[in-house]
Amino acid sequence: MATSSTLVTIRQRVLREIGRANLGFWIPNAYFDAAAAGSITSAVMLRDTNLGPSHWQSQRALFFRPTAASAADYIRFIGALTNTSGLLAHTGANYSDTTATSEIPEIWLHGIRPDLEFIDALNRAMEFVYFDSYEALSHLSPYDGSMVATTDTDWTDVLTPTTSAKATTARRVPWGLRAYQLINNAVDEGTQSATLSVEQLKMVSLWAIASCNVGTARLIPYDVTNSAAFAAAPTVSHSEEEPMLMNQPWIAAPASCKEWAAQLIGTTATSDIFWNQVWAYKQDNLRLNLPSHENEGFKITAILKAHPRNSGAGANIYRAEDLDLEELIEGRDFRWLMGQEDANPHAILLDRAELMDTPLMVQVRRPESDLTTFAADETASTKAPLHLLIPRVCIEVLKTCLTIEMIGKDEWTRLYAMFDNQLKTAIHDRPKTKTTGRTRWGGVPFMN
């Protein structure tokens, strides 16, 4: 999995990039000599007889102690410097925490608060750093069919499984961000999808990816109107730990069925199953609404048709990790339907029903802000590549926190140009890519 960077890592990197003279610096714990009620001392970092007592005070500098025992000790504005010892006083209430065992205090200039203005700049930068992912595309897409939500809000427990929660265990998640783990304490427990409408006697189908840690997974089309599984549905199940793509083939909804759902069931009392993605299709209903986070056209890189590969795990069971992805062509295979203020603002309209004979996927490009919003929590993290994120954060700090008057026009311009160049280089080195196979049919070749 991608490496995560914590808030403290990002903050310290920005301090170093913008520089000690412009924004501030941090004091490594090895050089944090002492904390007293009204001061901190660092001989290595602060002792400098070339500086006057008001050197830091004149720049409206502040102490930031983000891991102090009490939040009341996090921020203090700086007072006089004792330049012969490196003792730097503060002007606020006395510290209640005077230990220096593992802390890395920071000094920020110009009254910029790392818990306010900097956090705002970081969160704005996160809106423009993107990640690519793959999500199931079907009539269940608006209701967390791709399991991208952190909670199971769109799903309803069947009976009372011991565990019913999202998981990010990498080997259980061949596609997308997460899976849905269900651990049984009785037979035939699991979860049920959001309810979908259906015409009576209309053909429907289901696909789902399941990895069985323990027990057997079963995929069931469920008649919500009459509170019963489709009576004519064949048994689609497997007990493989390898993630498997399960298919409930096209089947007619019961005569009186007007609402239906997908049930993801563990058939044994000890079942422990990870469900990765789920697709639900209504034959001849060619409109597929997109989930709410796919709310702008640039976030959708490609619409893909997945071609399963065979497996020996049983009828209607296929390997899930090596699906062959074929890119569909806009204008030939589908059209966009977009109305930003509509109840369902973004959708595609398929050209023909047979495109739903195997699972469809959407390759998405989402901002990191969809996954992480930073606050004062030092443990918060992001997997955004630092070479993309740090220049953007530095630019945001220059635009919204550090004014030209604070550091001088020439220095501000130099820094802005440097970070802008770093960002352009990082983007150039990470071009957008599509992991797809070539289209299966491009028409009859023209010949003279």
pLDDT of 162 over the 60 cut: yes
pLDDT of 439 over the 80 cut: no
Looking at per-residue confidence, does 16 or 300 come out higher?
A: 16
Q: What is the CA radius of gyration of the chain?
A: 28
pLDDT, position 100: 87
CA atoms within 13 A on the CB side of 404: 5
- Assess if residue 162 is contained within a domain: yes
pLDDT, position 81: 98
The answer to which of 121-135, 189-203, 292-306, 346-360 has the lowest mean pLDDT is 292-306
* 357, 307: one domain: yes
* 63, 159: one domain: no
pLDDT, position 341: 79
pLDDT, position 445: 41
* Contact criterion met (CB below 8 Å) for 282 and 196: yes
The answer to which of 60-64, 330-334, 442-446 has the lowest mean pLDDT is 442-446
* 186, 316: one domain: yes
* Contact criterion met (CB below 8 Å) for 64 and 32: no
Percent of the chain with pLDDT over 90: 87
Q: What is the pLDDT of residues 4-20, one digit of tens each?
A: 999 999 999 999 999 99
pLDDT, position 443: 46
* 143, 90: one domain: no
User: pTM value?
Assistant: 0.86
Which of 367, 390, 421 is the last residue in one of the domains? 367
* 53, 168: one domain: no
Alpha carbons 268 and 282: distance in angstroms, whole number: 30
* 351, 205: one domain: yes
- Give the pLDDT band (50/70/90) at residue 43: very high
Domain of 251, CATH number, reads 2.60.120.260
Q: What is the pLDDT of residues 250-299, one digit of tens each?
A: 999 999 999 999 999 999 999 999 999 999 999 999 999 998 888 777 78
List phi, psi (to 5°) of 126: -65, -25
Alpha carbons 395 and 334: distance in angstroms, whole number: 39
Q: What is the pLDDT of residues 195-207, one digit of tens each?
A: 999 999 999 999 9
Which of 367, 382, 411 is the last residue in one of the domains? 367
pLDDT, position 299: 84
Alpha carbons 426 and 418: distance in angstroms, whole number: 12
pLDDT, position 190: 98
Question: Token pair 């299709």 is at which residue?
Answer: 281
- Assess if residue 1 is contained within a domain: no
pLDDT of 442 over the 90 cut: no
Angle, vertex CA 62, rays to CA 56 and CA 66, nearest 5: 140
Q: Nearest to residue 174, comparing CAs of 432, 305, 361?
A: 361
* Contact criterion met (CB below 8 Å) for 59 and 88: no
* 47, 141: one domain: no
Per-residue tokens: 304: 């893909």
Q: What is the DSSP string of 82-106?
A: ETTTTEEEESSSPPS----SS---E
- Assess if residue 122 is contained within a domain: no
Tell me, what DSSP letter sits at residue 193? Answer: P
Number of structural domains, the chain?
2
Count helices and strands (H / E) in the chain: 6, 28
* 152, 105: one domain: no
Mean pLDDT, the chain, whole residue set: 93
In 138-292, which ranges are E strands?
A: 156-158, 163-167, 179-183, 189-192, 196-197, 203-214, 217-223, 228-229, 237-238, 244-252, 259-266, 272-282, 287-289
3-state DSSP of 241-264: CCCEEEEEEEEECCCCCCEEEEEE
Q: Nearest to residue 397, comparing CAs of 183, 188, 123, 169?
A: 123
- Assess if residue 403 is contained within a domain: no
pLDDT, position 438: 54
pLDDT of 436 over the 80 cut: no
Residues of the domain holding 193 = 132-367
Q: What is the pLDDT of residues 78-120, one digit of tens each?
A: 999 999 999 999 999 999 999 988 999 999 999 999 999 999 9
* 222, 290: one domain: yes
- Assess if residue 299 is contained within a domain: yes
* 146, 103: one domain: no
